[in-house]
């Protein structure tokens, strides 16, 4: 999948594409999804710094914009962080609010099933083009199927649905070593493989694991 970067000469059009994808995703869901995404879109259009990927607005100001109380703001921002759409870049300190960022790749992955509702021209424009480096890597041989025990096969299926080539290249070779105290440990076939997944793909892996099993708080990549 092409990762949209809202920079350069076509930045304005790319911003509209991201917002359009969010809109289509919201409209295809229930009232709770619609309300949550509408609130995030309100923050993006009024307070989000696209160039720096920063959102620095206090809960009181957000509550006023959303016409809700601060308790609702805390709840919905926690939901957005749980989805992986919003991330904490710098935690708030005394007298300063937290600085948040958006994971645009995660947003586009989650909204992709609804792109066709916008139109085939949108799918062609957003879904094609130069691929990120990690999804162009082709393994020397196709990995063996993931064993059927534990939670990892189901998590791997989620990752394959998002990006089959990326899953074949980097995720299917991982093996589950067990879960302890909310931490899922996966074994990589080599040190290089483990380092690459930790550096480039761990965020996507953690989100898939948490969405499959909410008790998984962390994922560790190790080697034999």
Q: Which of 63-77, 136-150, 179-193 has the least mean pLDDT?
A: 136-150
Q: How far is the first Cα of the chain from the last one, in angstroms, to the nearest whole number? A: 32
pLDDT at 130: 38
DSSP string, 151-179: SHHHHHHHHHHH-HHHIIIIITT-EEEEE
Element (H, E) at 9: none
Which residue, among 91, 89, 86, has the nearest Cα to 22 in the 3D structure? 86
Q: Pick the residue with more confidence: 130 or 222?
A: 222
Q: Which of 16-30, 123-137, 167-181, 184-198 has the least mean pLDDT?
A: 123-137
Both tokens of 106, joined, read 């995660």
Tell which CATH architecture fits domain 132-223: 2-Layer Sandwich (3.30)
pTM of this structure: 0.74
Domain coordinates of the chain in residue numbers?
11-113+120-124, 132-223
pLDDT above 70 (res 22) = yes
Which CATH number fits the domain 11-113+120-124, given the four candidates 3.30.450.30, 1.10.760.10, 1.10.10.10, 3.10.580.10?
1.10.10.10
Categorize the per-residue pLDDT at 11 as very low, low, confident or very high, splitting at 50, 70 and 90. confident
pLDDT digits (tens, 9 = 90+) for 39-78: 999 999 999 999 899 999 999 999 999 999 999 999 999 9
pLDDT at 2: 52
Highest mean pLDDT among 32-36, 103-107, 212-216, 220-224: 32-36
Mean pLDDT of 16-45: 96
Mean pLDDT of 205-221: 92
Mean pLDDT of 100-124: 93
Our CA angle for 11, 197, 98, nearest 5°, is: 55
Element (H, E) at 58: none
pLDDT at 93: 76
pLDDT above 60 (res 157) = yes
Q: Pick the residue with more confidence: 30 or 128?
A: 30
Both tokens of 147, joined, read 């064993």
pLDDT at 3: 57
Give the separation between CA 57 and CA 146, rounded to whole angstroms: 44
Give the separation between CA 135 and CA 132, rounded to whole angstroms: 6
Categorize the per-residue pLDDT at 174 as very low, low, confident or very high, splitting at 50, 70 and 90. very high
pLDDT digits (tens, 9 = 90+) for 119-140: 999 998 887 543 444 444 444 4
Average confidence score pLDDT of the chain: 87
């Amino acid at each position: 999948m092409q990762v949209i970067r809202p920079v350069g000469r076509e930045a304005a059009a790319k911003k509209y594409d991201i917002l359009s994808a969010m809109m289509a995703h919201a409209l295809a869901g229930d009232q709770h999804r619609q309300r949550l995404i509408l609130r995030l879109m309100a923050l993006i259009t009024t307070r989000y710094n696209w160039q720096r990927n920063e959102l620095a607005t206090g809960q009181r100001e957000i509550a006023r914009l959303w016409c809700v109380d601060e308790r609702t703001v805390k709840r919905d921002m926690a939901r957005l962080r749980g989805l992986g759409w919003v991330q904490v870049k710098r935690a708030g300190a005394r007298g300063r609010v937290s600085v948040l960022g958006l994971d645009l790749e995660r947003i586009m992955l989650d909204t992709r099933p609804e792109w066709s509702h916008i139109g085939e021209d949108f799918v062609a424009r957003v879904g094609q083009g130069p691929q990120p480096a990690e999804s162009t890597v082709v393994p020397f041989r196709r990995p063996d199927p993931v064993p059927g025990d534990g939670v990892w096969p189901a998590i791997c299926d989620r990752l394959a649905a998002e990006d089959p080539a990326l899953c074949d290249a980097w995720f299917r070779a991982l093996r589950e070593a067990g879960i302890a105290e909310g931490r899922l440990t996966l074994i990589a076939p080599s040190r290089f493989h483990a380092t690459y997944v930790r550096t480039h793909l761990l965020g996507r892996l953690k989100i898939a694991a948490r969405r499959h099993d909410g008790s998984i708080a962390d994922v560790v990549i190790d080697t034999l």
